[in-house]
Amino acid sequence: MDINYLGEVQLAHKLRCHVDGCQLVHWEMMRRHWLLVGVCGWVLLLLMVVSRFINFNLHDDYGGKVEARTELSARTAKPQRAMPQPNSMPALDVFPTIPSDWLSVEERRLDQLASVCRNSSLRNLTHTSINKFVLDRIFVCDKQKILFCQTPKVGNTQWKKVLIVLNGKYSKVEDIPEEMVHDHEKNGLPRLSSLKENEIRERLDTYFKFFIVRDPFERIISAFKDKFVKNPRFEPWYKHDIAPAIIRKYRKIHRDPDDSSSQEAPGLRFEDFVRYLGDVSGQKRLNRQFGPHVIHWVTYVELCAPCDISYNMVGHHETLDRDAPYILKAAGIEHLVSYPTIPPGITAYNRTKVERYFSGISRRDARRLYERFQGDFNLFGYPRPDFLLD
């Protein structure tokens, strides 16, 4: 046999083996590639399912449709402050981030309130009659049997949105126009003062009642900034009526604000405002002149009569991220509405801001202001601001 022919056969055989081997390698690589693609696809699908499950739970935490998981274990208040059942549906545990001992926090607050109310030496600072001014501050939700006392400068706009939704005016808080919230002719929120005496008494005795407080001095600063500095709602009477009246009575050096030679800053200054608030007897005539506008800076006692109305819960602005969901749950409405998102840090007590605003205030004026709001400090457990007074 021709040796050259045999060589060609062997070479062809080697080439065919090489090609077949390459094809095998190629197909093995393709098989592994598609296997990897398949695994990735399954992982992606699994992640999508898990993601949907997580999103579902997050949606539940903020007011979506949920299944009952547990009953509310205890009432919020002591027997003498028995909390009514606003509706027949059970309270659902849809806020798992609330500390399990938050009930004890609320109970301590009510104990503090009751203890100070019983202190006869503070009676002039802690008690008031349940008059029309107080009844005007309390908003009514008959559908869910809830009363909410308005204490401005502590996030009340958001709570009013909650009640507007509960009363059926809107389906969710995000849909409510800002101008609607404060239009009391259109927002669908009746006040307790609009009812007959027997209807008022029935609701005070049986409805779930709550309000919110914050550090009294921080609230005063917030009221001053909102009404006399920024005035975002364009309420001209604060600048043109109220501020000039306070300046005339309480500014130590009087100059014409329009006088270009004046060294005084135009408009109301914080020290003028503090002198006005600290003058317990002198401000009464002005307050009658100012009318209901004083709700932004009068005491919680004057607004809500906390020693004369048995409230089921008192929330604190400083812990609103925990109080808000707890209040909704205690009132049995957390499945119906959610409290609007609270921006991080917005409710925290800011001592630096307080010190800055009070840096130009004399100790005498600061002490007078504290005496005016001492009832609020004591009733709700806020510490005496020694760093401003001593």
Q: Which two tokens stand for residue 200?
A: 């008022």
Query: Alpha-carbon Rg of the chain, whole angstroms?
Result: 33
Q: Is residue 12 part of a domain?
A: no
Shared domain for 101 and 42, answered yes or no, is no
Q: What is the dihedral of CA 358, 360, 365, 371, to 10 degrees?
A: 0
Q: Is residue 71 part of a domain?
A: no
Shared domain for 129 and 194, answered yes or no, is yes
pLDDT at 38: 63
Residues in the chain with pLDDT values less than 50: 1-9, 11-20, 22-26, 47, 49-97, 256-257, 259-265
Shared domain for 155 and 249, answered yes or no, is yes
Q: Are 68 and 92 in contact (CB under 8 A)?
A: yes
Q: Is residue 30 part of a domain?
A: yes
Q: Is residue 67 part of a domain?
A: no
pLDDT at 298: 95
Q: Is residue 2 part of a domain?
A: no
Shared domain for 240 and 283, answered yes or no, is yes
Per the structure, the count of domains in the chain is 2
Q: Is residue 69 part of a domain?
A: no
Residue 42's domain comprises 23-61
Going 24 to 25 to 31 to 34, the CA torsion angle's sign is negative
pLDDT at 222: 96
Q: Is residue 4 part of a domain?
A: no
pLDDT at 42: 58
Shared domain for 157 and 243, answered yes or no, is yes
Shared domain for 40 and 142, answered yes or no, is no
Cα gap 214→155, rounded to integer Å? 10
Shared domain for 57 and 111, answered yes or no, is no
Shared domain for 206 and 276, answered yes or no, is yes
Shared domain for 292 and 170, answered yes or no, is yes
Going 385 to 273 to 133 to 176, the CA torsion angle's sign is negative
Cα gap 272→252, rounded to integer Å? 8
Give the DSSP per-residue string, 96-107: TTS-TTHHHHHH
Q: Residue 261: in which H helix or E strand, if any? A: none
Q: Is residue 17 part of a domain?
A: no
Q: Which candidate, 103, 72, 219, 194, places its Cα nearest to that of 142?
A: 194
Shared domain for 31 and 132, answered yes or no, is no
Shared domain for 224 and 299, answered yes or no, is yes
CA distances from 214 to 151, 285, 343, 348, 370 (A): 9, 27, 17, 10, 15
pTM of the shown model: 0.72
pLDDT at 234: 84
Shared domain for 43 and 173, answered yes or no, is no
Cα gap 268→290, rounded to integer Å? 15
